[in-house]
Amino acid sequence: GAGVSQSPSNKVTEKGKDVELRCDPISGHTALYWYRQSLGQGLEFLIYFQGNSAPDKSGLPSDRFSAERTGGSVSTLTIQRTQQEDSAVYLCASVGSYEQYFGPGTRLTVT
Amino acid sequence: GDSVTQMEGPVTLSEEAFLTINCTYTATGYPSLFWYVQYPGEGLQLLLKATKADDKGSNKGFEATYRKETTSFHLEKGSVQVSDSAVYFCASNDYKLSFGAGTTVTVRA
């Protein structure tokens, strides 16, 4: 069946521009995570959506980062006024029973 | 909150050597535990999992046992291959998913 998809797969943007990253989770999964992985680093938790509950935003690094999840399905991560340190791979994970399924990621490069 | 601590790398081994990567967790409840693997240039893949105490997850020759008494989930493989070179992440899922920092493993022929 269909897995988790993310778009775009690669995004190059100029410093100061806004970007939107999209995640299409697996149908029926109620929980969704956003992580980022900088080159050679581990996974940094960003935000967690669970059903209709208020999202856990404790991992967002600054107020330039925001995310929403519409209709309990598709999620969009928005980064405003991008900085070079925002360059990373942004990963989305869709959560089923006991298992998380990761998308292929969006590689963001801020020049 | 919940957290995962795993052995720092990098780890370099010769082919057919024994591999252990230590992982311990803290949790208020009874989390499910996972090992993920990221091969060079690829995305994260689930390697194995265990959902309750004393469960043993296994896959591709790797094993890990959920030890509640020591809050551990150490990853082991008896005889590694060059193709096992990757970054390995331990993770726990209680209220939310928490990852360790990752351990880079390099296996030399």
Q: What is the 3-state secondary structure (H, E, C) of chain B?
A: CCEEEECCCCEEEECCCCEEECEEEECCCCCEEEEEEECCCCCEEEEEEECCCCCEEEECCEEEECECCCCECCEEECCCCHHHCEEEEEEEECCCEEECCCEEEEEEC
Alpha helices for chain A (secondary structure H): none
Q: How many CB pairs under 8 A join A and B?
A: 46
In Å, how far is B48's CA from the nearest CA of chain A?
Answer: 10
| Tokens describing residue A55 | 């999202």
Q: What secondary structure letter does DSSP report for A56?
A: B
pLDDT of residue B1: 60
Is the distance from CB of A25 to CB of A75 less than 8 angstroms? yes
Q: Cβ separation of B96 and A33 shorter than 8 Å?
A: yes
Q: How far apart are CA A37 and CA B38, in angstroms?
A: 12
Question: Which of B 35-94 lie inside 8 A of A, CB atoms?
Answer: 43-46, 49, 51, 89, 91, 93
What is d(CA A63, CA A87) in angstroms, rounded to the nearest whole number?
A: 16
Q: What is the mean pLDDT of residues A5-26?
A: 96
SS3 label, residue A46: strand
CB contact, 8 Å: B102 with chain A? Answer: yes
Per-residue model confidence (pLDDT) at position A108: 97
A10-14, A29-33, B25-29: range with highest mean pLDDT: A10-14
Question: How far is the alpha carbon of B18 from chain A, nearest alpha carbon, in Å?
Answer: 24
Q: How confident is the model at residue A98 (pLDDT cuts 50, 70, 90)?
A: low
A43 touches chain B (CB under 8 A): yes
pLDDT reported for residue B8 = 83
Q: Using one digit for the tens of pLDDT, what is the confidence trace for B38-74?
A: 998 888 889 999 999 999 999 999 999 999 999 999 9
Query: Which residues of chain B make contact with A104, given a CB cutoff of 8 A?
Result: 43
pLDDT value of position A30: 85
CA distance linking residue A46 with residue A67, whole number of Å:
9
Residue B15: C-alpha distances to residues B7, B78, B84, B87 (Å): 20, 10, 9, 17
Q: What is the mean pLDDT of residues B2-19?
A: 91
Q: Which residue from A42, A56, A105 is facing B89, i.e. has the nearest CB?
A: A42
Nearest to B96 among A42, A48, A91 (CB): A48
